[in-house]
Amino acid sequence: MSKVQKKELFVPDFEEISKVLQEGLAANFKTASVSVVECPDLTKPPFTLAAPGLCGSPRLADVGGPPYLVPLAQKDKKYNFQDVAQQTELPGAFIIGAGAGPHHVVGVNSEMMANARDGGENQTYLCKIKPEDESYVLEKGSSTDFCLLANLYLSEGKPGKVLEVKASIRTGEENFVTCMRKTLKAKYGDKPVGLGGTFLIEKGKAKIHVMPDFSSKPLQTEDDVNGWLRFFDMKAELVCLSTFVSHDPGLDLRIEHSHCFSHHGDGGHYHYDVTPDEVMYRGYYVPAEYIYRIDPPENTHRIGRD
């Protein structure tokens, strides 16, 4: 079994964190509101998640990491949703998040949009690059395996109280997730606050990358990585699966990571919106109680974590 480290996260009062986030988002978007609401049924369109809610034993998992992808992919790093549910002490968990798809199943490297119930429904999407024309293909995944790295939010998938986060017309430089993460860092300092959930890009377009197949040449720098990745402007509506942590408590974390899928063939790794004058976000998040660091790389670096 992989090495697992568990740390308790700081969980602010819902009303307090909603006010903190709203103030931070208002400095970066023309309109912003954060409220505590009953989670809508996320199995319904446009979200189409594998469980109706985000509540019950909320926790984060950071599995593997970019050092297993760059400079050269360590293709033996294979993981499974069921194992992660066991390692995070939540058998039967509802699992959403961002990771690398199972190359041994897909045949090539891919982006994974994890959306599954351990032992139940699997609505995971994968997005890959077609080598013949460099276009991308979004498809449903049939496997519960993944490879190399993932940042996951796990819960019992129950209805309950969540943070509803709305923001539109971006006036600042930060993307939706980075703005929230930095806001919490400014408020809580070295008390790590971790959130997981889903957000919808309702209007506008976003810069998204899709990984091609593994590089045969070592990727030594951020420029190398960005030259290898394939970038696209993708259009709303985009359903994003998202985790972030305000402060790394010494676990070598990827502190934010969001992947998206759609019902019109777009999907991949979210960077930021490219239409600030029209973008509209609506998200649902829950503060996590714990974070589990699973199989951390011994030889680590900071490349490839955007």
- Percent of the chain beyond pLDDT 70? 100
Per-residue pLDDT tens for 93-107? 999 999 999 999 999
In this structure, what are the phi and psi dihedrals at residue 184, rounded to the nearest 5 degrees?
Answer: -70, -35
Q: Max Cα separation, the chain?
A: 52
Per-residue pLDDT tens for 235-278? 999 999 999 999 999 999 999 999 999 999 999 999 999 999 99
Q: How many CB atoms lie within 10 A of CB 54?
A: 27
Per-residue pLDDT tens for 3-27? 999 999 999 999 999 999 999 999 9
Q: What is the pLDDT of residue 268?
A: 98
Q: For residue 303, name the pLDDT band (cuts at 50, 70, 90).
A: very high
pLDDT of residue 40 exceeding 90, the answer is yes
Q: For residue 111, name the pLDDT band (cuts at 50, 70, 90).
A: very high
HEC sequence for the chain:
CCCEEEEECCCCCHHHHHHHHHHHHHCCEEEEEEEEEECCCCCCCCCCCCCCCCECCCEEEEEECHHHCCCCCCCCCEEEHHHHHHHCCCCCCEEEEEEECCHHHHCCCCEEEEEEECCCCECCEEEEECCCCCCEEEEECCCCEEEEEEEEEEECCECCEEEEEEEEEECCCCCHHHHHHHHHHHHHCCCCCEEEEEEEEEECEEEEEECCCCCCCCCCCHHHHHHHCEEEEEECCEEEEEEEECCCCCCCCCCEEEEEECCCCCEEEEEEECCCCCCEEEEEEEECCEEEEECCCCCCCCCCCC
Q: Do 201 and 238 form a contact (C-beta atoms < 8 A)?
A: yes
- Closest to 63 in 3D by CA, of 78, 52, 49: 78
Q: For residue 160, name the pLDDT band (cuts at 50, 70, 90).
A: very high
Q: What is the pLDDT of residue 2?
A: 83
Q: Do 26 and 32 form a contact (C-beta atoms < 8 A)?
A: yes
Q: What is the pLDDT of residue 119?
A: 94
Which pair of structure tokens corresponds to residue 91?
A: 């058998």
Residue 24: exposure state from Cβ atoms within 10 A (0-12, 13-18, ≥19): buried
Q: Do 291 and 191 form a contact (C-beta atoms < 8 A)?
A: no
- Closest to 40 in 3D by CA, of 31, 49, 32: 49
Amino acid 118 reads D
d(CA 102, CA 110): 7
Amino acid 35 reads S
Per-residue pLDDT, averaged over 52-66, amounts to 98
Per-residue pLDDT, averaged over 84-88, amounts to 98
pLDDT of residue 306 exceeding 90, the answer is no
Per-residue pLDDT, averaged over 223-227, amounts to 97
Amino acid 213 reads D
Work out the mean pLDDT of the chain and round it to a whole number: 97
Q: What is the pLDDT of residue 1?
A: 62
